[in-house]
A = this chain, B = another copy of it.
């Protein structure tokens, strides 16, 4: 059965966070005399703090805070671990560097494929990114969403079931009427456990060609495509848009 709407993971599925953070971080690293740090390695180190940062909220050890704030704290910790005192950079530079997450580029097929899907189905974000981050990112990347749903609406970080269930509820849908689109088996597995439909899109360059950390969680998802254009084809969305 076709879903009534599609909800998209964003980081890694729609936009290339690793390439974008590497590119955006290079001038900041150069400005503090640390140009020898590889941008991609810095992006990996920054992102490595993502799950632990959210775990504190998911496990109730910390009240709800938005991802922009976690990204800032994760940046400061990443700098410290590289022997850089964040205070050296000043508030403006730290805030601007954190906003690198608002300026990521979409995968080459994302804008056109999403437009084809949106012509037939409502499309929303189901990301851990907060509303301001998703609004800025979408405008930067040229993406159009029908709504920003996910973590901030739910006040819960994926894979907390509440993130998926609150998104379906906000759209007035039963979980089985909503399909998550993601490049991550772990995300899709959590969505399926909540009753959502699932569509896997392969993003082999998310980790620069290295295997994804959740490759062992691969399952037979409801749909599978190499990119958004392929997903639009499989769902019968017109190509002449």
Interface residues of A (CB under 8 A from B): 68, 122, 124, 130-136, 138-139, 144-149, 152-153, 170-173
Specify which chain B residues have a CB less than 8 angstroms from the CB of A171 in the assembled complex: 131-132, 135
A-B contact pairs, 14 of them (CB 8 A): A122-B135, A122-B136, A122-B139, A124-B135, A131-B147, A131-B149, A131-B153, A131-B171, A132-B171, A132-B172, A134-B147, A135-B147, A138-B146, A153-B153
Further pairs besides A131-B149, A131-B171: 13, Cβ < 8 Å: A122-B136, A130-B170, A131-B153, A132-B172, A133-B172, A134-B147, A135-B171, A139-B146, A144-B144, A145-B147, A147-B147, A147-B148, A148-B148
A89 shortest CB reach to chain B, Å: 20
- A118 nearest CB neighbor, chain B only: B139
Specify which chain B residues have a CB less than 8 angstroms from the CB of A170 in the assembled complex: 130-132, 152
Specify which chain B residues have a CB less than 8 angstroms from the CB of A135 in the assembled complex: 122, 124, 146-147, 171
Specify which chain B residues have a CB less than 8 angstroms from the CB of A145 in the assembled complex: 146-147
A124 to B131, CA, bound (A): 11
Copies of this polypeptide in the complex: 2
A130 to B172, CA, bound (A): 9
- A121 nearest CB neighbor, chain B only: B139
A68 to B139, CA, bound (A): 29
A134 to B153, CA, bound (A): 15
Specify which chain B residues have a CB less than 8 angstroms from the CB of A130 in the assembled complex: 170, 172
The interface centre, meaning the residue of A134, A135, A170 with most chain B CB atoms within 10 A of its CB, is A135
Specify which chain B residues have a CB less than 8 angstroms from the CB of A68 in the assembled complex: 172
A145 to B172, CA, bound (A): 19
Specify which chain B residues have a CB less than 8 angstroms from the CB of A124 in the assembled complex: 135
A79 shortest CB reach to chain B, Å: 22
Specify which chain B residues have a CB less than 8 angstroms from the CB of A172 in the assembled complex: 68, 130, 132-133
Sorted nearest first, the 7 A-B pairs with minimum C-beta distance are A132-B172, A131-B170, A147-B148, A135-B146, A132-B171, A135-B147, A122-B135
Specify which chain B residues have a CB less than 8 angstroms from the CB of A138 in the assembled complex: 146
The interface centre, meaning the residue of A134, A138, A144, A148 with most chain B CB atoms within 10 A of its CB, is A148
A154 shortest CB reach to chain B, Å: 11
